[in-house]
Amino acid sequence: MVRSEKIWSLAKLALDSKQAKLNRGVSLSSPRANISLTFHCSLKRSASLSFVGLLLVVLLLPVFSRGDSLQSRRQLSVRQRLEAAKSYYLYAGKGHVALLSKYDVVILHAPGWFPVGMSVADVQRLNGLGVVTLGYLSIGQTSHLMRGDGKGPGGYASWYLTMPGARKPEADKQWHSYYTNCCSRAWRKYFLRKAAWMINKRGFEGLFLDCVNTYDRFPHKGLRACTAGLIHELRKRFPNAPIVLNEGTRILPTVAPWINGLMLESFTLGHNDTHSKYIVMPPRDLNWRLQQVHRITPLARRFHLKLFALDYALPTQTRRIQMAANRAATLGLLEAVEPVDFGTIYPAVVGHFQGKWLRPVH
């Protein structure tokens, strides 16, 4: 109703001021519809009415276009919408539905792992707008020590991984979290119950699995296979939900048929936690990522996997952000650049193809 009143007010204003612009060209543009129309008006009232009619068309066209676009997106399954996505963002805060709705895919937190998270109402609003909502869920760590069954070191849950002789579960010093064992029946039961809670109670359409590569930290026999097996069990429980992994390239040949996307973190830009400084990844790491992309791209094409790049920078480091966007676009990944706390939504940046990123960096 408010928008209709605004349109009619603009139309009336155009008609009332017509006499002052009889011999002038009036240019109207609609950035959303990418339309530019120029009218050369005569002294006749019919021309004035035609002008108003065209004005209404120009003003209303973006509304109809958005509606048509939303309708077409709703005709696709959520997994098809993720495959067709052109943009994404990861956000650990709450609210800001209007900003997040500009993205095709959003990875969001429910209260628990981070201090705040998206409300059920806001998740549902984004779902209604055709945005694919993925709930953050760690498969390889917990944010804090949990008592669980109390059968582990220090009286904590038996599902934690520890170093030999340790009296306490092993901690990830960067994120102050604790490694979990995907071979543990207790952990698998808890993880699947939490996944059901995210989808059935919090309203997320799919899941984003973090800390997949805990098996690199604890390369004991079987952990890699147990991680893949838990992902398979998750797929069987939720056959229609998109599943995106953060890292996990070592198990990708096994799990590719069961997932919908893969993220590569610190793809171009990272954060040095020791010096609390945002950095451009060194050439060795950039070239390692390039080799990874070459290896996983055939699998991604075969199983229709969406590839994501996640980078870290300050909002003022615009040249770095553009560089990261260009590199991701060149190599076929969707890009998001974030602060390390994931609490701010940066303006979207469009990446451009640059052939230099197809070659190793020296």
Q: Does domain 77-358 have CATH number 3.20.20.70?
A: yes
pLDDT at res. 72? 65
**pLDDT value at position 41?**
36
Task: Check if the beta carbon of residue 333 is closer than 8 Å to that of residue 307.
Answer: yes
pLDDT band at residue 254 using 50, 70 and 90 as cut-offs: very high
Work out the average pLDDT over 263-270: 98
The share of the chain scoring above pLDDT 90, in percent, equals 71
For residues 38-59, average pLDDT: 38
CB 247 within 8 A of CB 263: yes
| Type of residue at 250 | R
pLDDT at 36 over 80: no
Asked whether the predicted pLDDT for residue 227 surpasses 50, the reply is yes
Domain with CATH 3.20.20.70 in the chain: 77-358
178-181 contacts, C-beta under 8 A, 24 or more apart: 178/141, 178/142, 178/144, 178/145, 179/140, 179/141, 179/211, 179/214, 179/217, 179/218, 180/138, 180/139, 180/140, 180/141, 180/142, 180/214, 181/218, 181/223, 181/226
Q: Considering the chain, what is the average pLDDT of its residues?
A: 84
What pLDDT sits at residue 70? 62
How does 111-138 read in b/e, with b if 16+ C-beta sit within 10 Å? ebbbeebbbeebbbbbeebbbbbbbbbb
| Whole-angstrom distance, CA of residue 327 vs CA of residue 16 | 52
Residues 274-318 pLDDT 10s: 889 999 999 999 999 999 999 999 999 999 999 999 999 999 999
* Token pair for 64: 């109809």
Amino acid 268: pLDDT: 98
Is it the case that residue 48 has pLDDT exceeding 60? no
The model's pLDDT over 346-362, given as tens digits with 9 standing for 90+, comes to 999 999 999 999 999 99
Residue 298 is predicted with a pLDDT of 97
Q: Is the pLDDT of residue 139 over 60?
A: yes
